[in-house]
Amino acid sequence: DQQVKQNSPSLSVQEGRISILNCDYTNSMFDYFLWYKKYPAEGPTFLISISSIKDKNEDGRFTVFLNKSAKHLSLHIVPSQPGDSAVYFCAARALYGGATNKLIFGTGTLLAVQP
Amino acid sequence: SQTIHQWPATLVQPVGSPLSLECTVEGTSNPNLYWYRQAAGRGLQLLFYSVGIGQISSEVPQNLSASRPQDRQFILSSKKLLLSDSGFYLCAWSVGQATDTQYFGPGTRLTVL
């Protein structure tokens, strides 16, 4: 059962335009969400996060929106740059009795920004 | 600053051979440590996590095991590799719960033939 879903395996955007990456989740107990960016043959790097008490978090060109009622979050990148081309993973935190911090990852979306 | 190391970077092993992947973290104490696997065309799957020395929790049944002999050392092992063990193995660390960001190492590409 995939608790975090990224239904678009790939996305192609022109340089300078907006990239919108989507993520849906099923577990209402998730309270913290993160986006990671991954280049081939490298480990994921943390990009931006959002707590469930917020509906928006912005960091430079990156903005994450959270719609709790729809169990949906999205990452907006504007303007998109060729260097943004990578796989983007959405992740959600699940607290199990407050014992530890475990992340559930989506399957990723490959973003290609065309010059 | 904190850094995380994984080795080897790539590994090709025959079916039935043993495996040992190592991960070390520098610049932090008592981190939470994690092993993930990314199989071809799939997301990141949590395999093991550890909140302290000798404390290992397994997330999925498999022929892999993990150990944490020192505070900042995390080892992934197998006695006999299967073809299905091929993938990209990632170690990650985090500190506490207030900051829930996990930071990943560079990964190990394992190919089992």
Q: What is the pLDDT of residue A62?
A: 98
> How many other C-beta atoms are found inside a 10 Å radius of the C-beta of residue A14?
12
Collect all residues with Cβ–Cβ distance below 8 Å to A53 and sequence separation of at least 6. none
Q: What is the pLDDT of residue A101?
A: 65
B45 shares contact with chain A (CB less than 8 Å)? yes
A7: confidence class by pLDDT, cuts 50, 70, 90? very high
Cα–Cα–Cα angle for A28, A29, A35, rounded to 5 degrees = 85
Collect all residues with Cβ–Cβ distance below 8 Å to B98 and sequence separation of at least 6. none
Closest CA to A110 of A1, A18, A13: A13
For residues A7 and A107, the answer to whether their CB atoms sit within 8 Å is no
Q: What is the pLDDT of residue B58?
A: 87
Is the pLDDT reported for residue A79 higher than 60? yes
| Least Cα separation, residue B58 to chain A (angstroms) | 12
B23 shares contact with chain A (CB less than 8 Å)? no
Q: For residue B100, list chain A residues with Cβ-Cβ distance below 8 A.
A: 32, 34, 49, 93, 101, 103
Average pLDDT over residues A82-107: 82
Q: For residue A41, list chain B residues with Cβ-Cβ distance below 8 A.
A: 88, 107, 109
Is the pLDDT reported for residue A100 higher than 80? no
Q: What is the pLDDT of residue B65?
A: 95
Question: How confident is the prediction for chain A on average, in pLDDT?
Answer: 92
A101 and B32: CB-CB below 8 Å? Answer: yes
B97 and A108: CB-CB below 8 Å? Answer: no
Is the pLDDT reported for residue A55 higher than 70? yes
Element (H, E) at A38: strand A32-38
B101 and A46: CB-CB below 8 Å? Answer: yes
B43 and A36: CB-CB below 8 Å? Answer: no
From A6, A36, A102, residue closest to B46, measured CB to CB = A102
B58 shares contact with chain A (CB less than 8 Å)? no
Average pLDDT over residues A40-57: 93
Is the pLDDT reported for residue B77 higher than 60? yes
* Of A70-84, B1-15, B56-70, B90-104, highest mean pLDDT: A70-84
Q: What is the pLDDT of residue B100?
A: 67
Q: What is the pLDDT of residue B37?
A: 93
Average pLDDT over residues B71-78: 96
Q: What is the pLDDT of residue A92?
A: 92
Cα A35 from Cα A74, distance rounded (Å):
9
B106 and A42: CB-CB below 8 Å? Answer: yes
In tens, the pLDDT along B8-67 reads 999 999 999 999 999 999 998 889 999 999 877 678 888 998 988 999 988 876 789 999
Is the pLDDT reported for residue B101 higher than 90? no
Query: Count of residues for chain A?
Result: 115
Q: What percent of chain A has pLDDT over 70?
A: 93
A107 and B101: CB-CB below 8 Å? Answer: no
| Least Cα separation, residue A108 to chain B (angstroms) | 6
Average pLDDT over residues A82-103: 80
B104 and A36: CB-CB below 8 Å? Answer: yes
